[in-house]
Amino acid sequence: MYNYIKQLLKKLISKKILFKYEPIFRRIFYQFYKGKNYHCTICNKELRKFIPLADRDKLCPNCGSISRNRRLWKLLDSEFLRTKIEVLDFSPSRCIYRALKKNPFISYTGTDISGDFLSEEKYDITNIDVKNESYDLVICYHVLEHIEDDIQAMKELYRVLKNKGICIIQTPFQEGEIYENPSIKTEDGRLQHFGQKDHVRIYSAKGLEERLSNCGFQVNIREYKEDFNNKYGFKNKETILICTK
């Protein structure tokens, strides 16, 4: 039912209008999922269940968060958000964007060059148009696997961070080494080799750590493991890199 309604709205309503009124649509849809079994860390709603997605992820009907969004929010809220910090978020999820925009104690900027996400800016991650040491916290979630010159992007992330600043990074990961092949340019080829038509590589956590370290970061690889039916709808296994300047 959810996927049918979503596809119907996409056909009938422009993206701009859909983004504007999405919270209202979701609040209505949420009424069918009220309960006490689960909890969304972002909107704090109690749920009878999450909406199961085709890729086995779990969607919050109220705010639209998926598992990685909820984990990220828990991490931000418990460890990294503090008053008067400057935050830059690349291609932010709409639920995270809306939640951070409501926070009166931080300065939050969303940036997206594609036009597919809510944002104020359109920074090129390989050439970020801000001065050195501008941000205390940078969120780079599921971005680097799209960037051909990822080393330049990492250098830019390091440059715009303040001293002791934090960059939180996640991509899809595999075991072993990083797999990339610059000669693969077509969408079909990238889908076959990298798992998505707009991806240009598959990182390993260790391989990404090495590249980030070579750009100056101190990297802490965090591994999370959860029960299958955990209350917050987190992934059973998840890796996040906490990078400090």
Residue 8 above 70 pLDDT? no
What pLDDT, in 10s, does the model give residues 191-232?
999 999 999 999 999 999 999 999 999 999 999 999 888 999
pLDDT at 206: 97
**Where in the chain are all domains bearing CATH 3.40.50.150?**
68-244
- What is the spatial distance between Cα 182 and Cα 134, in angstroms, rounded to a whole number? 32
pLDDT at 46: 96
- What is the spatial distance between Cα 54 and Cα 3, in angstroms, rounded to a whole number? 9
What SS3 state is found at 218?
strand
pLDDT at 202: 96
Residue 1 above 90 pLDDT? no
The pLDDT of 14-32, averaged and rounded, is 78
State if pTM tops 0.85. Answer: yes
Residue 15 above 70 pLDDT? no
The residues, ordered by sequence, that sit 6+ positions from 125 with a Cβ below 8 Å of its Cβ are 90, 113, 140, 143, 147, 153, 156, 157
- What is the spatial distance between Cα 239 and Cα 38, in angstroms, rounded to a whole number? 22
Distances (CA, A) of 135 to 19, 107, 166: 27, 9, 9
CATH number of 68-244: 3.40.50.150
Res. 50 pLDDT band, cuts 50 70 90? very high
CA 78 to chain CA mean position, Å: 17
Res. 14 pLDDT band, cuts 50 70 90? low
Residue 132 above 80 pLDDT? yes
pLDDT at 13: 63
pLDDT at 90: 98
pLDDT at 12: 57
The pLDDT of 235-239, averaged and rounded, is 96
Res. 72 pLDDT band, cuts 50 70 90? very high
Residue 179 above 60 pLDDT? yes
Residue 142 above 70 pLDDT? yes
- What is the spatial distance between Cα 191 and Cα 176, in angstroms, rounded to a whole number? 20
Mean pLDDT score of the chain, rounded to an integer? 92
Q: What is the 3-state secondary structure (H, E, C) of 147-186?
A: CCCHHHHHHHHHHHEEEEEEEEEECCECCCCCEECCCCCC
What pLDDT, in 10s, does the model give residues 74-90?
999 999 999 999 999 99
